[in-house]
Amino acid sequence: MEHLPVEVIGNILSRLGGARDVVIASVTCRKWREASRKHLHTLAFNSNDLPPYRDITPKQLEILITQTIFQTTGLQGLSILMDDVDEFSASTVIAWLMYTRETLRRLFYNVRTSPNVNILEICGRQKLETLALAHNSITGVEPNFQRFPCLKSLSLSHVSISALDLSLLLTACPKLESLELVNLEIAMSDAQVTVELSCPTLKSIYVEAISLDKFMLEADSIERLHLRDCALELFELIGIGTLKYFKIDDVSVIHLDIGETIDNLEVVDVSNFTIIWPKFYQMISRSSKLRKLRLWDVAFDDEDEVVDLETIAVCFPQLKHLALSYELRDGVMHYGLQGSSNLENVMVLELGWTVINDLFSHWVEELLKRCPNLRKMIIFGSVSEVKSHEECQILANFTSSIVQLMRKYMNVEVHFEFE
């Protein structure tokens, strides 16, 4: 260790993560102390990871963080996550940011201050590439195109911001590629809450726990779209057909439009969602490059609707991963499994039930017949703690059926996951 260059030691200390571990390691010897001061490029303070932080006052913690930061030069990554700490002095936090901002590339900031610290004003026009803000408020964003000339990743969690300021903020990030919006408090200017965003360079967006009347996104480079736990009347994506990954989980939306040109879709993952199958199928039917289709815990708007496997087999010839879990009904065997087209390229099959019945084992068998090149099958199930005799018998019959079925398909690896 004594022959290691100080630059290498600085990289080692930067990978420790927690500031407390860095401080302890840096007192090993003079060489490690020099490395922590001149070659440390990442420093993280997290109130959850460091129990001693909860045993001191916020003022004492401010002093400790100040001393640690001011002993470094050239920090590129700074993470200050203070979930369980009361308010810090705004002037102290501003001093941390002013000291590091010229070299900072990554900032993860969750600090409550009095008054609020304007992160955008302090860190703007610098070299910042990643910015993650939590439990903060953003107001009065200036329409400045070059405010964040290098920013590629932006995450806002539990942040209060108006729809206009959010739109202006994206405009100020000409190189933005990744956007995360989690549980935002959107300031309302009228009865309807409408968010309209435009970002030509955006490649990935994740939206969680947001309730809006209208959410419209114009992004010509978008490849990944993930909506989770949202309530929306309208969601519209305006693009030029670059979307490859579409996931929607536990979302209530009346009108969903992800664009007409979605020929490049490779993954469609829908769970805990009510769909109108003909309309949903029409939306994704031209996605001939689809590799993974997951419909999990879906409900159908029309009780007579089921997933049509014949249509899936014909329209998605490159499909390799198919996951289906929904409530089976008597009509499913006659409509959902009709046709003769096989899912030739499906190698992974995930199947599940909400309430098991005698139809499930037959459904599994029919799906196996339609997947001649299957390599792996995973069966998910829910088993209640208190079971009636009838439920126990159904489960026993299912187990026997699967055992017999697997004797026919020795080349298929089978896994069971119950909850």
pLDDT band of 334, cuts 50, 70, 90 = very low
pLDDT band of 54, cuts 50, 70, 90 = low
Is 399's pLDDT higher than 70? yes
Q: Please, how many CA atoms are within 13 Å of residue 35, restricted to the half-sphere of its CB?
A: 24
Give the number of domains in the chain: 1
Q: What is the pLDDT of residue 303?
A: 66
Give the largest CA-CA distance in the chain: 77
**Does residue 177 lie within any of the structural domains?**
no
Among 11-25, 32-46, 283-297, name the one with the lowest average pLDDT.
11-25
**Does residue 95 lie within any of the structural domains?**
no
**Does residue 378 lie within any of the structural domains?**
yes
Is 89's pLDDT higher than 60? yes
Domain containing 368 equals 279-418
Measured CA to CA, the distance from residue 329 to residue 37 in angstroms comes to: 67
**Does residue 302 lie within any of the structural domains?**
yes
Sign of torsion, CA 16 17 18 19? positive
Is 331's pLDDT higher than 60? no
Mean pLDDT over 62-79 rounds to 91
Residue-wise pLDDT for 345-396, tens only, equals 999 999 987 777 777 888 888 889 999 999 999 998 877 666 677 778 878 8
pTM for the whole thing?
0.90
Q: What is the pLDDT of residue 332?
A: 55
Triad 75, 106, 152: Cα angle to 5°:
145
**Strand order across the 211-218 sheet:** 194-198, 211-218, 231-238, 252-257
Mean pLDDT over 182-190 rounds to 83
pLDDT band of 40, cuts 50, 70, 90 = confident
First vs last C-alpha separation in the chain: 49
**Does residue 340 lie within any of the structural domains?**
yes
Q: What is the pLDDT of residue 168?
A: 93
Residue-wise pLDDT for 205-226, tens only, equals 999 999 999 999 999 999 999 9
**Does residue 392 lie within any of the structural domains?**
yes
**Does residue 242 lie within any of the structural domains?**
no
Measured CA to CA, the distance from residue 257 to residue 217 in angstroms comes to: 10
Measured CA to CA, the distance from residue 290 to residue 316 in angstroms comes to: 6
Dump the DSSP string for 10-56.
HHHHHTT-BHHHHHHHHTS-HHHHHHHHHS--EEEEETTT-GGGGGS
pLDDT band of 83, cuts 50, 70, 90 = confident
Residue-wise pLDDT for 150-180, tens only, equals 999 999 999 999 999 999 999 999 999 999 9
Residue among 116, 63, 111 at smallest CA distance from 84 = 111
Paired with 299 in beta bridges are: 274
Contacts of 62 (CB under 8 A, 6+ apart): 88, 89, 92
Give the single-character DSSP code of 353: -
